């Protein structure tokens, strides 16, 4: 039996991911397969991935603190 609390957490995580992700699953899968076939060491999906990749290369020690805020649970920041 699945825990209802965990299901709610999963649903909220998926909502946050869908808000951030800008490429649909089919397009991402095609891009990943293309990268694997070409033996690419890195496959970036979407403009946001290119931005984060460039940002972390330019600021390797400071980018994660800002980026992590995008993944935070808004309820935790309010104390609820």
pLDDT digits (tens, 9 = 90+) for 19-60: 777 788 899 999 999 999 999 999 999 887 888 888 888 888
More confident residue, 80 or 72: 72
pTM (2 d.p.):
0.53
How confident is the model over 1-27, as a mean pLDDT? Answer: 72
Q: What is the pLDDT of residue 61?
A: 84
In residues, how long is the chain? 80
Q: 38 phi and psi, to 5 degrees?
A: -90, 5
Q: What is the pLDDT of residue 25?
A: 84
Residue 16 clears pLDDT 80, i.e. is over it:
no
Which two tokens mark 43?
């496959």
């Amino acid at each position: 039996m699945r825990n209802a609390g965990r299901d709610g957490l999963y649903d909220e995580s998926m909502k946050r991911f869908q808000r951030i992700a800008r490429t649909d699953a089919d397009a991402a899968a095609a891009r990943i397969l293309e990268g694997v076939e070409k033996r690419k060491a890195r496959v970036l999906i979407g403009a946001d991935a290119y931005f984060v990749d460039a940002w972390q290369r330019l600021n390797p020690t400071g980018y994660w603190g800002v980026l992590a805020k995008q993944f935070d649970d808004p309820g935790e920041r309010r104390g609820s």
